[in-house]
Amino acid sequence: MDIFRTKSVEQSIRDTEAPEHQLRKRLTAVDLTVFGIGVIVGTGIFVLTGQVAKETAGPAVALSFVVAAVVCGLAALCYAEFASTIPVAGSAYTFSFATLGEFPAWVIGWDLFLELALAAAVVAVGWSGYFASLLASVGLALPASIAGENPVVNVPAVLIVVILTAVLVAGIKLSSRVNLILVITKVAVVLLVIVAGLFFVKAANYSPFIPEAVTTERVEGLKAPLIQVLFGVTPVAFGVLGIFSAAAIVFFAFIGFDIVATAAEETINPQRDVPRGIIGSLIICTILYVAVSLVVVGMQRYSDLSTSAPLSDAFISVGHAWLATIISVGAIAGLTTVVLVLLLGQTRVLFAMSRDGLLPRSLAKVDPHFGTPARLTVLIGLVTMALAGFVSFAELAELVNIGTLFAFVVVSLGVIVLRRTRPDLPRAFRVPLVPVLPVLAVLACVYLMLNLPVETWLRFVIWMIIGLVVYFGYGYWHSRQAFSWQKARR
């Protein structure tokens, strides 16, 4: 039983040329950068900023964003090299198949399924909350049964998923244009927060910049970071350890640049434009995050920050409620693009897995009119609608984070492996200082993973066990690569 059979880079590229599985190339570097910003600037900047500042890092939350950005930057370089070498849909899944083998690739694909599906549903519910709040502010309050904290069916969340699913089915270029309009809107609002907020910053709110470490109930028992449990450190919030614990949480704010790689197959010049899109979106978003976090903790004492709507509530606290309404509009635009690109990334990963036979191949059929995997897109839309419509909003950022960090570890290791096994491959972008930088990326990602709670690790392990059952029950026996290997041996 060979579960580590690899799929050559050449075969991966040939598979993209089959008429029934061929995606249309419509995207440029600008489109990819906007996609990256579209999914990165969202929940993290509109929600997590206040939550981690109040509960974990204090004013030093800006440093937490920097730490998370450095880790993402190291991983981004590895993604950029892979995407320019293997411009095929599937991102980390495809990269893993070419370097580590089928089973590791399945594990990563299953892992990305958890990350993207869960994140899309949770963000859709968050979108519903902002949308209902905005309508209420103009006297159009929605019934609690369809848009409250515990609705029977979260109708706004379902509707936004329906609309965005239709946009994705209609074509990748239309998706990029809708995304561009919404990204411009939310970036303008973020810049407004930075500029307007500067007038209300008080130096006293930055003191102490790194609050003294304290023991809190939030980080006791299964909620304690794994690294603190393993080394017998008393679970704490704030202090230097708090900065790194917060970095593991705000890492959620950077999830998205890796999704740019899932669109490589639909890019006109992927070797040049995918690395630009990945690195460009990450740099822009890091600058925005650090600036916003510094302004918000300067406007309002970190201990008084809101954990649900910190940006708008900070302006309310200084007597400018009208700005809070504008920020809500920006948040709605921001979360819309996040759901859109998460759905895009989800469909492209499962598209690649279906094309390889690890999931039913019928799902990988491309619609001849729209040039998109319409059947799979609708299926993902239905799953996301069910999750968003009938599950309560919960703090799942940490579970999404561990999945993403795990994918980053595998991709970083993959760069080292592919450099040794296929040094002949043309690489439009090359990670400098290999193997030093990829190893640093692995160590940094593992460190952040260890800063996540014990209960997050337990949930992650359970999900992976379910994935093993699905793989050995279906994927292994239907893999196209298995048939190729059998023919080769004959």
User: Which residue ranges of the chain lie beneath pLDDT 50?
Assistant: 393-395
H or E, element range at 409? helix 397-421
Considering the domain boundaries, does residue 219 fall inside one?
yes
H or E, element range at 9? helix 9-15
Cα–Cα distance for residue pair 18/14, rounded to 1 Å = 7
> Domain containing 40: what range?
9-489
Considering the domain boundaries, does residue 2 fall inside one?
no
- For 17-30, write each residue's pLDDT tens digit: 777 667 777 888 88
Considering the domain boundaries, does residue 366 fall inside one?
yes
- For 124-162, write each residue's pLDDT tens digit: 887 887 788 778 777 788 888 887 667 788 899 999 999
CA 391, 285, 188: angle at the middle one, nearest 5?
A: 85
Task: Give me the chain's average pLDDT, please.
Answer: 84
Supply 432's token pair.
């400098």
Query: In whole angstroms, how far apart are CA 75 and each of 61, 383, 431, 437?
Result: 21, 29, 10, 9
Q: Are 380 and 346 in contact (CB under 8 A)?
A: yes
Q: Are 340 and 168 in contact (CB under 8 A)?
A: yes
Q: Is the dihedral of CA 207, 51, 221, 63 positive or negative?
A: negative
Q: Say which CATH number the domain at 125 has.
A: 1.20.1740.10
Considering the domain boundaries, does residue 1 fall inside one?
no
Considering the domain boundaries, does residue 252 fall inside one?
yes
Count of structural domains, the chain: 1
